[in-house]
Homo-oligomer: A and B are copies of this chain.
Amino acid sequence: MAERTHETIESGAPDPMPYMHPVMKKNYGKWNFHSHPKPGVLYHRAESGDEIWTVKAGTQRQMDHYTVRKLADLADQFADGYVRFTTRSNIEYMVTDQAKVEPLIKALTDNGFPVGGTANSVSMVAHTQGWLHCDIPGTDASGVVKALMDDLYHDFVNCEMPNRVKLSTSCCEINCGGQADIAIIVQHTKPPKINHDLVANVCERPSVVARCPVAAIRPALVNGKPSLEVDEKKCICCGACFPPCPPMQINDPEHSKIAIWVGGKNSNARSRPTFHKLVAAGLPNNAPRWPEVGAVVKTILEAYKADGRPWERMNDWIDRIGWPAFFEKTGLPFTKYHIDNWRGGRNSLNASAHIRF
């Protein structure tokens, strides 16, 4: 390492004010109206009467610097040189001159950035790392998201859903992608295969044992060496032992499958926030385009689009029609795996005579 000339300043999270559009800065905390003029465009008005139009576009998140520079150039050309990114890796351009909205949309579109993701569209998928960078992934992330967004392009650039749709994907069961209206998550189906030669050197055995949610791991001597042993009857194939102990290989090209979950919601609007629920599993990890996953996601979205009432999020829709109807309308099979057997699972059993026929 070359000699350092700089001494670290622990500056933390930077002040956004120097980077914020002046109209947003001026009216900070003083907005009082918004509307959705068209897909991909937001309109906000401040108490002062100041107005701002936001044009929102999708990106690939994992961007080469050429793409970033292109986005910066567009900001200079159309939007006073300011942008922001949303919590879902969409980029937002703020313009104070309504006349610039359409040219900006055109420029973004011409440059391959889909304009949309606002209001009742399907926004960008919450993104994780996958084979590109993570040390434990069962599948890719950027690739899955690209394939999905190609499929869902129409619903990104249009606002035809009953309410916002938030998707996430996660390349292992840890689920860095989070709770979502539809979540696509790796689901392993076989216990880890242990490379006993490596365990002693690589893994801190007590802490691995402690990580297992079902206490299926115990220390053992294998071929005379200290290693670990998994009770395969107990193991639920969650993969939690793999990060602290890479010799406990959980990933498998065949048996690491993909599961689909629906109805997660973080917002407090109407119903309380709620977790997503398992609806489909056993889908193959079919790189490079995961067509089986896309097909199920589209089926669910179509049913929701056709049947949901205005302002019903995915979970609100299902709450209204009931789970039997969800499985009927999507044609997805209902299996014993849908019935929770984890701690507290009793809370999800139907403890009433409320039944739809």
Which chain A residues have a beta carbon within 8 Å of chain B's beta carbons? Answer: 268, 272-273, 343-344, 346-347, 351-354
Cα(A354)–Cα(B351), bound, Å: 25
Indicate if the CB atoms of B344 and A268 lie closer than 8 Å.
no
Indicate if the CB atoms of B347 and A273 lie closer than 8 Å.
no
A343 surroundings in chain B (CB, below 8 A):
344
Indicate if the CB atoms of B344 and A272 lie closer than 8 Å.
no
A273 surroundings in chain B (CB, below 8 A):
351-352
Number of copies: 2
Cα(A274)–Cα(B268), bound, Å: 24
A354 surroundings in chain B (CB, below 8 A):
268, 272
Indicate if the CB atoms of A268 and B352 lie closer than 8 Å.
yes
Those 3 A-B pairs whose CB atoms lie nearest each other, nearest first: A272-B352, A268-B353, A344-B344
A344 surroundings in chain B (CB, below 8 A):
343-344, 346-347
A300 to chain B: closest CB distance in Å?
Answer: 25
Cα(A353)–Cα(B268), bound, Å: 6
A68 to chain B: closest CB distance in Å?
Answer: 35
Cα(A124)–Cα(B107), bound, Å: 77
> Smallest CB-CB separation from A272: which chain B residue?
B352
A354 to chain B: closest CB distance in Å?
Answer: 6
Q: A268-B353, A272-B354, A344-B346 are in contact. List 10 more A-B contacts (CB 8 A).
A: A268-B352, A268-B354, A272-B351, A272-B352, A273-B351, A273-B352, A343-B344, A344-B344, A344-B347, A347-B347
Cα(A352)–Cα(B354), bound, Å: 25
Cα(A63)–Cα(B343), bound, Å: 47
A351 surroundings in chain B (CB, below 8 A):
272-273
Cα(A188)–Cα(B351), bound, Å: 29
A353 surroundings in chain B (CB, below 8 A):
268
Cα(A352)–Cα(B272), bound, Å: 6
A346 surroundings in chain B (CB, below 8 A):
344
A313 to chain B: closest CB distance in Å?
Answer: 14
- 13 A-B Cβ contacts within 8 A? A268-B352, A268-B353, A268-B354, A272-B351, A272-B352, A272-B354, A273-B351, A273-B352, A343-B344, A344-B344, A344-B346, A344-B347, A347-B347
A197 to chain B: closest CB distance in Å?
Answer: 41
A342 to chain B: closest CB distance in Å?
Answer: 11
Cα(A271)–Cα(B325), bound, Å: 20
> Smallest CB-CB separation from A270: which chain B residue?
B354
Cα(A273)–Cα(B351), bound, Å: 7
Cα(A346)–Cα(B347), bound, Å: 11
